[in-house]
A and B are shown apart, each in its own frame.
Chain A
Amino acid sequence: MNAMLNWLAQIASITKFGLMSIPQRRGAVFATVIGIAGVVAVLVGVLSIGAGFRRAMTNSGSADAAIVLRSGSDSEMVSGFGRAETRLIADAPGVARNKDGPLASAELFVIINLAKRSTGTDANVPLRGVEGAAVSVRENLQVAEGRMFAWGKNEVIVGRGASREFAGLEVGSTVKVGREAWPVVGVFTANGGVAESEIWTDAKVLQAAYKRGDSFQSVYARLNSAAAFTEFKDALTSNPQLNVKVLRQSEHYAAQSETLTRLISTLGFIIAFLMAIGAVFGALNTMYSAVAARTREIATLRALGFGSGAVVIALMIESLVLALLGGAVGAGLAYAAFNNYRAATMNWQSFSQVTFAFAVTPHLLVQGVVWATLIGLIGGLLPAIRAARQPIAAALREL
């Protein structure tokens, strides 16, 4: 026990000397801390894009809401139903009801071209036709500005994200749908979810404008509970009149976000890995110069009886402290610069734009600090071993 305490005291002393001598080496230390901060900031920043996109998509659907598509469809774009089918779906067991009937909305989905505010280039913006129950089916959907469109009229409301990202979507402006200009009468929010990237109108009006007859592409339904999903799904998939694919909305949106988040994560890790290699060399350089500058001090301590193991551990701790400092600076920078930064990108499943906010989540911050720790450990190990293996007698005479 005493030996262990003694050893820990040795480590603490050597670590303290190292940290106290940092002001004498502040240039190299600063470069290392900034290098590691850069790696962490870039890693966290890039991954926050994926996390924000995933959050926008998963905020869109809850476990007690379902989406029904034609069997074999990956997205609403390639799905299709007639009126008779959507009625069967709305009347299926498990669907929640209110005084107006089942909470199910048959919807259709078209894409219109609008200019991005940031670049002025055209982008695909989803225009969704909905039925009366649509607002009740989605959680937290609220008209934040203006009013709801009038049923049966050529009017639209636009999501907050779409209004922010695309030109000409303010209340009072008009949107070109086919050959006509439809007024924007309201702006709605949906808890940051994917619906905020869309423009909504009455499904019947949209069917007429696009000559879709009485066809739809999907049915959104709110269920009695999350547990009612199985009953709902079984009822639809076992009905010989229907040929459908039934998903929880949460699962549907998670699947939609998968391709992009995987791409972003892979790119983020590759960039961060390449930068981390550079940062490791920076840390190596700093710790080698720390060891070189303190050769005589370390040799003196070892001559007095301090152990080589304690020297190694203490130098590793010093390297880790610098790395964690860099990690914290990088994570802080990433949070300040990227958290809630708003952007829009293509959802490749629906070929339309999704607006979202970058999300610097606690998980990403931890991930950044873990990378910093690894850089610190790798950068500190070799110099620490060198310090511990230097012949004491020769090192004592170093100037």
Chain B
Amino acid sequence: MSDSQAKNNELVRVDNVEKIFHRGSEEIHVLSKLSLLVPTGEFLALMGPSGSGKSTLLNLIGGLDRPTNGTVTVAGDRIDQLSDRQLAAWRARHIGFVFQLYNLMPVLTAERNVELPLLLTTLTKAQRQKHVATALAMVGLSHRAKHYPRTMSGGEQQRVGIARGIVTDPTLLLCDEPTGDLDRKAGDEILNLLQALNREHGKTIIMVTHDPHASARAARTVHLTKGQLTREAVA
């Protein structure tokens, strides 16, 4: 691939990013001069021990936080320069999130949870219902559409979370420890699903995990230690 082809194909560019948190007078350097490129269509795993900065990096790429220094460009937008309001709209348009603890609304059914990101679009109710049905079908939960999260297993709840993450057909799917709260069997089902989304539907996925079993499903794995990329492995 030539440089220009690579540039055209790149979805995420993180350049010399630093993230410093303050605790009283103490400065905590979570990310130090970190750079990363993620091309469109890649399934990337971010691995590292607790405190290595992998979730912080995911938050920066997802527009949930801003770097102290450096630039973050996603889908051609310099998101480190956007205001809070612009970032919220940008996230709604480009990012699908999958969380470790699913983060579903307990008072809503599965289909209403999946519909949430669509409330930020101009789609009609009928269009929204169609999108929701498609997303639930993709995660194999059409039969659980009317069920509340509390009546579902962890694996099912996470599949609802994934359906919510993909229902707007986002540019990028960000998964923060998506199997961290699941047993091996349910975790495997989730990883199969993510792999299928990447391979069959071309979804670009960045997944934070500390589980080598999970990272083995990704096309590429980068390791973080103390806020820096230390190793990279391609499957």
Interfacial residues, chain A to chain B (CB-CB below 8 A): 2, 5-6, 9-10, 13, 17, 20-21, 296-297, 300-309, 391-393, 396, 399
Q: B119 and A13: CB pair below 8 A?
A: yes
The stretch of B72-80, B100-108, B182-190, B211-219 in contact with A is: B100-108
Docked complex Cα distance between A301 and B107 (Å): 14
Q: Decide if B116 touches A13 in the complex (CB within 8 Å).
A: yes
In this complex, what residue of A is CB-closest to B56? Answer: A393
Chain B residue with the shortest CB-CB distance to A5: B122
Chain A residue numbers with a CB within 8 Å of B231 are none
Nearest B residue to A294 via CB reads: B105
Residues of B within 8 A of A297 (CB): 103, 105
Neighbouring B residues of A20 by C-beta, 8 Å:
107
Complex CA–CA separation, A399 to B100 (angstroms): 12
Determine the residue in chain A with the shortest Cβ distance to B116. A304
Judge whether A396 and B64 touch: CB under 8 Å. Answer: yes
Instruction: Say which one of B8-16, B42-50, B89-97, B192-200 lies at the interface with A.
Output: B89-97
B154 at interface, CB cutoff 8 A: no
> Is B85 at the interface (CB under 8 A from chain A)?
yes
Docked CA distance A6–B119 (Å): 7
Instruction: Tally B residues with Cβ within 8 Å of A.
Output: 29
**Contact B99 A305, beta carbon cutoff 8 Å:** no
A242 CA to B99 CA, complexed, in Å: 93
Cβ 8 A contact of B64, one of A2, A9, A303: A303
B120 in contact (CB, < 8 A): yes
Is B62 an interface position by the 8 A CB rule?
yes
Q: Are B65 and A393 in contact (CB under 8 A)?
A: yes
B70 interface hit (Cβ, 8 Å): no
B59 touches A305 (CB 8 A): no
**Known A17-B108, A393-B65, A396-B64: A308·B88 in contact at CB below 8 Å:** yes
Given A303-B97, A304-B92, A304-B97, CB of A391 within 8 Å of CB of B65: yes
| Contact call A305/B117, Cβ cutoff below 8 A | yes
Contact check: which of A21, A304, A308, A399 meets B120 at CB < 8 Å?
A304
Residues of B contacting A392 with CB < 8 Å? 59, 64-65
Q: Which residues of A contact B122 (CB under 8 A)?
A: 2, 5-6
Please name 17 further chain A to chain B contacts, defined as beta carbons within 8 Å, in addition to the given A17-B108, A307-B85, sorted by A numbering.
A5-B122, A9-B120, A13-B116, A21-B106, A296-B101, A297-B103, A301-B116, A303-B62, A303-B91, A304-B120, A306-B120, A307-B88, A308-B85, A308-B88, A392-B59, A393-B64, A396-B103
Residue numbers in B under 8 Å from A13 (CB-CB): 116, 119
Contacts of A10 in B (CB 8 A): 119-120
Write out the residue numbers on chain A whose beta carbons fall within 8 Å of the beta carbon of B232: none
Q: Which residues of B contact A21 (CB under 8 A)?
A: 106-107
A304 touches B91 (CB 8 A): yes
Name, among B62, B97, B103, B121, the residue most crowded by chain A CB atoms within 10 Å (CB to CB): B103
**Are A305 and B92 in contact, CB atoms less than 8 angstroms apart?**
yes
A304 touches B65 (CB 8 A): no
When C-beta atoms are compared, the residue in chain B nearest to A7 turns out to be B120
Decide: A396 and B92 in contact? CB cutoff 8 A. no
Query: B104-132 vs A: 1/0 string, CB under 8 Å?
Result: 01111000000011011110000000000
**Would you give the shortest CB distance from B92 to chain A, in whole angstroms?**
3
From known contacts A2-B122, A6-B120, A9-B119, infer whether A305 and B89 are also in contact, taking CB-CB under 8 Å: yes
From B85, which residue of chain A is reached at the shortest CB distance? A307
A7 to chain B, nearest CB (A): 10
Top 5 A-B pairs ranked by shortest CB distance?
A305-B92, A20-B107, A300-B103, A393-B59, A393-B64
Distance between Cα atoms of A311 and B90 in the complex (Å): 17
Query: Would you give the shortest CB distance from B30 to chain A, in whole angstroms?
Result: 11
Nearest chain-B residue to A399 (Cβ)?
A: B101
Chain A nearest Cβ from B166, distance in angstroms: 13
Cα separation A309 to B84 with both chains bound (whole Å): 11
Q: Which of B65, B84, B106, B107 has the most CB of A within 10 A?
A: B107
Q: Is the CB of A305 within 8 A of B103?
A: no
Given the complex, which residues of B lie within 8 Å of A2, measured CB to CB?
Answer: 122
- 26 A-B Cβ contacts within 8 A? A2-B122, A6-B120, A6-B121, A9-B119, A13-B116, A13-B119, A17-B105, A296-B103, A297-B103, A300-B105, A303-B97, A304-B92, A304-B120, A304-B164, A305-B88, A305-B89, A305-B91, A305-B92, A305-B93, A305-B117, A306-B120, A307-B89, A392-B65, A393-B64, A396-B99, A396-B103
B88 contacts which chain A residues (CB < 8 A)?
302, 305-308
Q: Closest approach, in angstroms, between the C-beta of A296 and any C-beta of chain B?
A: 6
CB distance from B113 to the nearest CB of A (A): 10
